[in-house]
Chains A and B, each alone.
Chain A
Amino acid sequence: NAGVTQTPKFQVLKTGQSMTLQCAQDMNHNSMYWYRQDPGMGLRLIYYSASEGTTDKGEVPNGYNVSRLNKREFSLRLESAAPSQTSVYFCASSEGNEQFFGPGTRLTVL
């Protein structure tokens, strides 16, 4: 079991560029999540998907879109990146209260 995998691990974008962060889990979990973590802070929920076919906004959804492609995959898209989106992005999945996190994607927007 690989658990939760994320690609890429690192990315540098220029302001206005777009990109998609990929996330996949092999634990057959129904729920998946995207968080961002800024330096010295806790994680903030961007979007979540309670089950395949549904997505909902979290605490900080502005500037992002998500797609729950199937039960395994949940992608996060930045349509027009801004420096304020420089952060570490974590994907997670869960079946119950325990969330399993991926290794993160470190994104820098110049």
Chain B
Amino acid sequence: GESVGLHLPTLSVQEGDNSIINCAYSNSASDYFIWYKQESGKGPQFIIDIRSNMDKRQGQRVTVLLNKTVKHLSLQIAATQPGDSAVYFCAENDTGGFKTIFGAGTRLFVKA
């Protein structure tokens, strides 16, 4: 079936450095790609999304890049802070937008 997956299960970065979290997807028909952040004991929280007709979108300290040629999605976090420590999930929505498929997640550790 269609799937969304991640290259790295864990990532450890120094506070102040930039973080890059990668994701591979297989459904070329997906319309939207989303990044969620999940802190321990909480539900996922929306970070940023990107439509399939875009290749880059920026938010506050975060940038999402979409490469449809190789079906790759990445989340860049600038000046990573301790509060960024969490599990990050990429996800994709089908055309109707209701069936969201989540990847397995990457745990980000930020060292002070």
Interface positions of A (Cβ within 8 A of B): 4, 31, 33, 35, 40-45, 48, 50, 56, 58-59, 90, 92, 96-104
Contacts and interface: CB of A to CB of B under 8 A. Distances in A.
A6 to B, nearest CB: 9
A101 B45 contact: yes
Contacts of B41: 103-104
Nearest to A43: B102
Contacts of B32: 97
Interface residues of B, number: 23
A34 B67 CA distance: 30
Interface stretch (B12-20, B55-63, B78-86, B93-101): B93-101
B104 A99 contact: no
7 A-B pairs with the lowest CB-CB distances in the bound complex, closest first: A101-B43, A42-B102, A98-B46, A43-B102, A97-B32, A42-B104, A101-B44
Contact of B43 (A31, A97, A98, A103): A103
B34 interface: yes
B104 A104 contact: no
Given A97-B32, A97-B34, A98-B49, A48 B104 contact: no
A58 B99 contact: yes
A97 B4 CA distance: 17
